[in-house]
Amino acid sequence: MTQFETADDAGRTDLPEPCAPPGISVVIPVLNEQRYLRTVVDRVLSSTYGGPLQVVLALGPSTDGTSALAAEIAAADARVTLVANPTGRTAAGLNAAIRNARFSVIARVDGHALIPQNYLAVAWRALYETKAANVGGVMAAEGETDFEQAVAAAMRSWFGVGGAAFHIGGQAGPALTVYLGVFQRSAIEEAGGFDETMVRAQDWELNHRIRAQGGLIWFTPDLEVTYRPRGSINSLARQYWQYGRWRREVTRRHPETVSPRYLAPPATVLAVTVASAITIAAAASGHPRIAGVASLVPLGYASGNIAASLIIGRHLSPAVRHRLPIVLATMHGAWGAGFLRWA
């Protein structure tokens, strides 16, 4: 028995026929998610999926009343299970939730991710038909405030986050990773679970290990999950700094995974920083030609940012569109700085 096998049908590797859908355990690590938690859980429990459901909430050390709200939700519905996650780290919470899961299919959901009612049914069908280890879809970022809408637009754009299908959509097929995901429990167990030393990029890293042992990760655009983006410059910068920092750690552990998409932000930060320093130094020392040439790098990035913002925001309100350049610069700069800092 593995560290996860504590449940009713743990350890099963055979997927039953679609006419007898298996139970699905939906695991949700939560930390300071009072704003969205009830809606997130209600979305899961009101699913049109035809099989048994369980929701396992892994409770981190929240300070906003999340734990009290979770206890209230669990008291009202026996399908909700609470487990402790003292560290508050996502990977540790997911592993704790999986250990307390009852079923052979594991759906990973975030505390601020809103799944549509047919999400689990569509995911199960894709899991069965493709024989994949994990299936997932599109991270459909949607904001409420002007700033959140700008972040959402940036996250759905190629210029903002690169060309990953789970951000911008694409054709169904094998993928390196997917957003969240619905797993065969046996695939998680065979891979050893989520790596609890990874603060970010833990999903990508687990999917990499699953693929390395022969498992199929399957992307389908039929699965969309509403994601609520960060609501301020500071929180967005912290999030993307962590993304960059832990992407660097993934490349250190798995150097074969390095790609131009992951190197673009740190390369941009390095180029803009060095060129800006040369521009200032050259101008101060009386070398205007050198200053002019060097200034082309930061000016080029700024021009590209503004042009991309106009294209991305062409159907958005002026209040949202005007926020796009600073949002894009924050995402690129924080991600790149985090990657370089971890080096």
Q: Rounded to whole angstroms, how far apart are CA atoms 236 and 227? A: 14
Q: Rounded to whole angstroms, how far apart are CA atoms 73 and 211? A: 36
**In Å, how far are 79, 102, 150, 250, 295 from 145, measured between CA atoms?**
33, 38, 9, 33, 35
pLDDT range class, residue 48, cuts 50, 70, 90: very high
Q: What are phi and psi of 217, to 5 degrees?
A: -100, 125
Look at residues 249, 216, 219 and name the one whose alpha carbon lies nearest to residue 339: 249
Q: Rounded to whole angstroms, how far apart are CA atoms 191 and 18? A: 26
Global pTM value: 0.80
Give the chain's domains with CATH numbers: 24-231 (3.90.550.10), 252-342 (no CATH)
Q: What are phi and psi of 28, to 5 degrees?
A: -135, 105
Predicted pLDDT of residue 13: 45
Digit-coded pLDDT (tens) for 121-162: 999 999 999 999 999 998 888 888 999 999 999 988 888 876
How many other C-beta atoms lie within 10 A of the C-beta of residue 67?
Answer: 21
| Residue 135 and residue 218 in contact, taking contact as beta carbons nearer than 8 Å | yes
Digit-coded pLDDT (tens) for 272-306: 999 999 999 999 999 999 999 999 999 999 999 99
Predicted pLDDT of residue 63: 93
Please list the residues that pair with 26 across neighbouring strands.
Answer: 55, 107
